[in-house]
Amino acid sequence: MNIRLRLTLLFAVLVASIMLVFSLSVYYLYDQFREQEFNKRLQEKAKTTVRLLEDVSGITDSLLHAIDRNNLTAMFREEVTIYDAQNNIVYDSGKEPFPIGPKILQEIRDGKAFRKQEGEKEIVGLRYIDKRKEVLVVIAYAVDLYGFSKLDRLRNILVTGWVISLFVVLFSGWFFAGDALRPVSEIIAQVKNISARNIHERLTIGREKDELAQLAITFNELLARLEDAFNSQRSFVSHASHELRTPLAIMMGQLGVSLMQERTREAYRDTIKETIEEVKKMRDLVNGLLELARLNDDSSQFSARPLRVDELLWQAREMLLAHSPDYNIHIEFDQIPEEEEALEIEGDASLLQTAFINLMGNGCKYSEDHRINVTLHIQEQALRICFVDYGVGIAEKDLVHIFEPFYRAEATQAIKGHGVGLALSERIIKLHRGDIRVHSQLGVGTHFIVTFESIH
């Protein structure tokens, strides 16, 4: 069942239920009104009869019967019966007085109202005190033929109107549901035409203030993010292919040249050394790519435990100096904490060491004196680490791209590298609920600020 049919049926059921309750209420209230009005007429008839019998001296029963029969206000099958104080019938306008027991007659004399319906007959009883102070009981009944005919007519009108209205509601509900869902159909048609080849296209927004317009806006935002992801993926694949192809081409060229003719032992050793250097570059690149892919695909599986940031910085420094002894890395504290727990954060030691090594290594690599200053600031609820170098710097137009894989600023093109380290470092820091910011100026240096939440 599609949404249009479901909405139509729900709308029809809702409106039909409301109309049914309304019709039943009208029918019930009119029936109560009819009954009250007819009871009043019966009471008036009973009072008129007993007064006429009392006020007109010498009137006979036959004359009173004749008056009742020729009365224009006479009701269908009406009959009035008058009982005296001894429960004897002193007058009856018809031939079939309604049978009533002495107990009920006494209750009426005591002033209790009496109403009853038996089949089509409606009966009322009232007491009347005559001039002799005798308490009489008057019982009147009749059939409200005219009232019931109007009630039947009203019932037929309500039933017919309800059925006709139901069909009108179904038709109008189907029409309005189609009109309400037309933007959805348009969105579906537009989405079907969007693929990876034309992901730059966007949905047309019609009614700019309703929920469907908000849905289209949200979907366009999703398409924008997907387009960025596709572009990043294309750029990633293109750069990765280029970075991997270059050392392979160099190695193949060096090995091919060495096989063209006999060379000395030292020449072969030089070729092997150069090939090993290219293999190391490829190894570092592949390791960085694998680590970046692992963090993107399964970032929830890293093991977090309390770690001291100062120890991680010193360990990263030692590991970097073991590989590049000419680097000059200076670590300092803005203040010494009173409690060692103030230096702790939760995280993975190997991942954080990788991030710190990349940040320290970049600062040393892009500085002429291979120097970087690392300062640890202890704040009330956070730890802030500043990596400051005085190297080539980064242009303002490049700052927004430096955390993209394989992106390298123009000022660093002459220095070997792959552009993976900063992207990997940012992913690690974000994974640890940290924040990394960068300030740089060409020819002056670069300032990276990393902030972590303290666990104490």
Provide the pLDDT for residue 245.
66
Beta bridge pairs of residue 385: 376, 450
What average pLDDT does this structure show over 20-39? 93
pLDDT digits (tens, 9 = 90+) for 125-180: 999 888 888 889 999 989 988 899 999 999 999 999 999 999 999 988 888 888 87
pLDDT digits (tens, 9 = 90+) for 294-330: 665 555 556 678 888 889 999 989 988 888 888 999 9
Domains of the chain, earliest start first = 3-151 (3.30.450.20), 211-296 (1.10.287.130), 302-453 (3.30.565.10)
Please give the mean pLDDT across all residues of the chain: 81
Which of 33-37, 165-169, 201-205, 217-221 has the least mean pLDDT? 201-205
- Residue 85 near residue 134, CB atoms below 8 Å: yes
- The answer to whether residues 169 and 11 touch, using CB atoms and an 8 Å cutoff, is yes
pTM attached to this predicted model: 0.48
